[in-house]
Amino acid sequence: MILTSDQIQRLAPDAQVLAAGQKLGNPVQWQEPGRSDTVVWGECRGRALYKVGIDLGAMAYTCSCPSRKRPCKHVVGLLTLSIEHDSMLRDATLPEWVAAWVTRRETRAQRAEVDPSGESLPRPPASPQQERRADVQRTRVLEGVDALELWMCDLVRNGLATVEGQAPTFWQHQAARLVDAGAPGLASRVRRLSTIPGSSPQWPERLLGELGRIELLIEAYRRVDDLDPFLQHDVQMQIGRRLTKEEVSSAGEHVTDEWVTLGEVVEQDEQLRVQRTWLCGLRTGRSALILQFVVGTATAFPWVANLNHVQEMELHFWPSTWPQRALIAHRFGQAVYSADRRPGYATIEAMLTDVAQGLAANPWIDRCFAVLHDVVPIRHGEDDWSLRDRTGVTLPLQRRTHWRMLAQSGGGPIDVHGEWNGTVFQSFAFRTAETGA
Amino acid sequence: MIERLRATALLGTSREPVPQIHTSTGLDPVLTSISADDRERELLLTAGALAVWQRAGYRAAPAPAPDQAPADTLPGCGDELTEILKQMLRRSNRELVVRRLLDREAPGARTGLSADHGDLLPEALALLRTRGLRLRYHLLPDVLPARTEALRAALRPVIGQRGRWLAGFNPTWVWATDSLPAYAEWLWQNDKAGHRVDLLASQRRYDPAGARARLETRVATDRSEVGLTLLDALEIGLSPDDESFLEGVLDTRSPAVRRRTARLLAKLLPSACAQRLHERADTMLVKTTRAFRRQKVQATLPGALDPTWQREGLEPHGDLPGIDAPGCWLIHTVGLVPVRHWIDRFEMPLEALTDGLEGDRVLEVLEAWTQAAVLHGEQELLPALWDAWWQQRMKPMRSADLLVTMWSDLAGAMEPSALGERLARLLDDPPEPETTCGRVLAAVAWPWPESAGDAFLRILQEVVRPLAVGTAPPSAWKHVLMPGARGIPARCIEPALVMLSGLPSLEAPLDQWQQVLDLATEKLRIRQQFNQELGR
C-alpha cells in the first residue's frame, strides 16, 4: 500500500484537521507505533493518550479521542507518520485493542455483506400495509411529476427569455417540491438547470434540451410498467428511487475483476457532497462508478480510493440497461500500486460509438468514463483546449488550463482518463509512456 | 438541429409556432410520432428527442497535428528531489500560493509547511544546474510563472528544451523562450500585465538589434510609450549600437525616464552622454590640500540647475526624499561616473578618498560612489566602500534604510572572499537599529562565504546557550537566524542542526524565539535533504 500526502489531504475533513494532523506526524508524539500487513496503529500523546488504528486496505480508522470530526487529527497524524517516518513503525502483531477493533469491523462487514452466491437474501413478503404505503408513495411522485410538467409547460409557453436573470430560488423552489413528492433525482436535475441561463450564447438551446430530457423522463415514468425491466430500473433511479444493497445485489450484475481506481471528483449538491469514483476492470475493460454521499463539509467520505491502485474485487452493479453505478461487495487480497497502461479506446470515434450505444439504451446517462489512448493535448486559446487522437479528430477538454498535461506530453501522444458529458471531456489524470500514471 | 427551436423556446409557444424538424435520419419517424395534446409538451418532447440524438451523434472535429517539443539532452532530476521541490511548490495546490511562493517580494502565504521556503529554490536550482540535471516536466507549470529576475535566472538553465517549448504557448511565460514565439506580435500589440517587457528582455538575449528595433518603432509612434521597465530590458545585451536610440530617448518628457536612459548611456563608455557626465561631475568634486599635506575632497555644488543638465533627468527641485536639490544633482551625476575616474583624477587611493571626504555632503558623495562602483562593476573598489559605510554607521542619515540599501547593493556585487569577513564583522557587532543586520543578510545571495557561515555558527551558539538555561539572547540575533538558515554554506548545515536539536521546548516569554528557531530548523532540514539528494 502506497499512501501519498495528496491522499491525506483529500481524506482530511478540513484544513484545520490537516494542519494539526501534519504536526502530529512527528515521531515524538507517538508511543508504540506499529504495523501489520494492512493495519497501522499507535498511541498519540495529547491531553490524554489516544489509541489510533487505521486499516489501510479499506481506509477505515478508529480513534479514542472525543473529536466529532472524522477522521480526526490523530488519524491524519498517524497517516503522516506512516509516510514521512516509515521506519518508526515496527512490524508487530496486533495489540489487543487493535485486534478487537479489526474483529468488530469484520463481524459488522459480514453482517452487512450480501450472500456471496449472488442470490438475494430472503426478504419477508410485503405486508398489505407496506403495499398501501408504496401506493401512496407512487401517487405522490406522480402528483409531483404532473406539477413539474405543468411548470415546464408554463415556462415554454411564456418563453425561456423570461428565466434569464431569475434568482436561484426560482429553480430551488420547484426542486424542493419534487423532494417533498419523493422524487429527489428529478429535483437534482431541476437544480442543475439553474446554472444554464446566461452561461453561454447557446444557453436557450441547452436549457430547452435539458427540459426536453426531463419531459422524456416524465413520459417514461408514466408508462414505467410497460418498459423493459432494466429500463424500469433506470427510469426509477432517475426519478430518485433508492435501492438497498440487497436489492442491488439481487437484481444487478456481479463482476469480479482486477479493478483499478482511475478518477475521482467531488461535487456539491445542496447540502450534500457527492463523490464519484471511477474504477476500471483490467480484464473486462469495464468501468464502474462508486457514488458516495455525505452531508456537510466536516465529514469525510467513508471510502477513500487509492488512485492507481489495483485490487481484485467483486462489484455488484445497479440494475440498468447500461450499468455504470456499482458497489464493492468483496475485496480480495491487497490493493497494489500500478503504473501500467489501462484498457481504453484507441480512437475518439470508438469512444463516441460506445457513448451512443449507452444513450440508445438509457437516454438519461449524463456522463461516461473513458480512457483515451494516444491523444495529444492542443491549446487553441486561453481556456480552450482539446484532445486530438491518431486519426486527427478532437474532443474539447473542460474549460480550464491543462498546462501540466501539455508539459508532460511535449506534443506527443499520452493516455488521458476522464468523463465525457456530451459536451466536454473532463480529464482526471493522464499517463505518458515515459512516466506511467 | 435543436437550434431551429431557439426562437420558439425564447419567445414562447404562445407567440411562436413549434417548427417541424426534419433530420433525414432515423430520428424523423420518432419526431413524427410525437403527438402531444398541447404545443408545449410537443415542443418539450421534440427538444428532448433532439437533445439525446445530438448527444449520441456527437461528431469530433478535425484539427491539424501540433508541433512536438525538441528532445532534451539533460536528464531529469531524481524522484526524491522532485518530491521535495513539488512539496515546496505545490503544498497547497492553489495557484495563488504557488505564485507567492515563487515571488520573494510577495507576503508569505500559508502552506502545509510552516513557511513558504520559496527562498530556497535558487539553491536547489543551482545545485541541479551544477549536476547537469533539469526539472522534471510536470513541475514546469509550477515554476514558469516565476516573476523575479533572480529566480528566472536560476530557472533558465534547468527548464530544458521542454520548458522553452512550453513557454512558447503562454504569453505570460515569454521570459523563458529562446526564440520569437508565435504570439510575440500579439503580445507586443496587446500589452498584458507587463509581459511586453518580458518579451523585450527575452528578445534582447537572442536578438538585441531586433528588440531595439521593436522599441524604436513604438517610440516613433508614441514617445510616451517608453516606460522605465522597457528601458530596463535594454540593459540586457547593451552595446554601442544602442547609443543613438538612447540619445533620442533623452529628449523624452519624463525626468525619470531620462535619468534611467542616462544610466544606460553611462555604462556605454565612451558614449557622448558619458563624456558629458564626466565633465559635469568634475565640477562637483574638488580636491584641496591642507596643512601637513592632508588632502581633502569636497563637494562644490551650484545653487541653481544648469538647464542643459535636465536632459539627463536632473530636476530643479530634486527628486530624492530627505535630500535637497543640489544633493540630488550630485548623486545622479557622480553616481554615474566610475569611481576609478576619481582615483585617477585626484591621484589618491579610494581609502584615502573616503577618509578625506569633508563638508556637509560626505554621505551624498559616498552614496554616489557606491552606486557608481556597483553600476560599473568595479569589484576591487567595493570592499573599501563597505568599510567607509562601516565608519559612518553611527551618523544620522537621510533615511533609516540608506545603510541597509548601500550594504545590500554592495553585498550583491562583492566577491565572496571580501564579503565573508565583512559579514562576519556585521554579525559579531550588529549596528543599530537591530533589524539592520538581518535585512542586509537577507539581501546576500546563497551561498554565503565560508567565513560568514562560521560566524553564523558562532552566533547560533550564542543564541542557543542562554536559551538552554531559560534566558533570552540579544534580540538582534532573532533577525539573522532566517537569512542564515537560508544562506550558510552546505557544510555548516549539519552543525547548525545539531545545535538547534539540543534545545528544550521554550515557553513564554521565550516562545517567540521558539517560533523563529522552528522555522530556521525547517529551512535547514529542507536544505539538508536536497543537498544530500544531489550530493549522491
Q: Dump the DSSP string for A138-175.
A: HHHHHHHHHHHHHHHHHHHHH-GGGTTT--HHHHHHHH
Top-confidence range, A27-36, A155-164, B212-221, B432-441: A155-164
| Cβ within 8 Å of residue A127, ≥6 positions away | none
Given an 8 Å threshold on Cβ–Cβ distance, is A388 in contact with B65? yes
Is B458 touching A (CB cutoff 8 A)?
no
Q: What is the mean pLDDT of residues A79-104?
A: 83
Euclidean distance between CA atoms A27 and B117, whole angstroms: 23
Domain boundary among A209, A238, A267: A238
- Do A230 and A265 lie in one domain? The reply is no
Is B21 touching A (CB cutoff 8 A)?
no
Q: How far is CA B533 from the centre of its chain?
A: 27
Q: Which one-letter amino acid corresponds to residue A26?
A: N
Is B3 touching A (CB cutoff 8 A)?
yes
Is A14 touching B (CB cutoff 8 A)?
no
- Do A365 and A400 lie in one domain? The reply is yes
- DSSP label at B309? G
In total, the C-beta contacts within 8 angstroms joining chain A to chain B are 162
Query: Residue B70: pLDDT above 70?
Result: yes
Mutation for testing the B interface, residue in A403, A405, A423 having most B CBs under 10 Å = A403
Number of domains in chain A: 4
A100 occurs within a structural domain: yes
Euclidean distance between CA atoms A178 and A211, whole angstroms: 15
pLDDT for B113 equals 40
| Cβ within 8 Å of residue B238, ≥6 positions away | B264, B267, B268
Query: What confidence tens digit (pLDDT) does each residue in B72-119 have?
Result: 999 999 888 888 888 777 543 333 333 333 333 333 333 334 446 778
Write out the residue range of the structural domain in which residue A214 sits: 128-238
A437 occurs within a structural domain: no
- Do A281 and A312 lie in one domain? The reply is yes
Using CB atoms, which residue from A202, A213, A406 is nearest to B169?
A406
Q: What is the mean pLDDT of residues B375-393?
A: 95
Closest-CA residue in chain A for B17?
A157
A210 occurs within a structural domain: yes
Given an 8 Å threshold on Cβ–Cβ distance, is A403 in contact with B166? yes
- Do A226 and A139 lie in one domain? The reply is yes
Closest-CA residue in chain B for A404?
B138
Given an 8 Å threshold on Cβ–Cβ distance, is B52 in contact with A404? no
Is B531 touching A (CB cutoff 8 A)?
no
Domain boundary among A305, A337, A369: A337
Q: Is the ipTM of this complex over 0.90?
A: no
Measured in angstroms, the CA of B27 and the nearest CA of chain A are apart by: 12
Is the model more confident about A118 or about A362? Answer: A362
Euclidean distance between CA atoms A318 and B217, whole angstroms: 68
- Which CATH number do you get for residue A386? 2.40.50
Nearest to A319 by CA among A234, A242, A220: A234
Nearest to B424 by CA among B446, B452, B404, B382: B452
Mutation for testing the B interface, residue in A153, A156, A223, A352 having most B CBs under 10 Å = A156
Q: What is the mean pLDDT of residues A67-78?
A: 83
Is the model more confident about B228 or about A4? Answer: B228
Query: Residue A45: pLDDT above 90?
Result: no
Is B137 touching A (CB cutoff 8 A)?
yes
Domain boundary among A69, A86, A112: A112
pLDDT band, residue A115 (cuts 50/70/90): very low
- Do A366 and A291 lie in one domain? The reply is no
- Do A186 and A276 lie in one domain? The reply is no
Given an 8 Å threshold on Cβ–Cβ distance, is A212 in contact with B50? yes
Euclidean distance between CA atoms B304 and B281, whole angstroms: 15
A247 occurs within a structural domain: no
Backbone angles phi, psi at A343, to 5 degrees: -60, 145
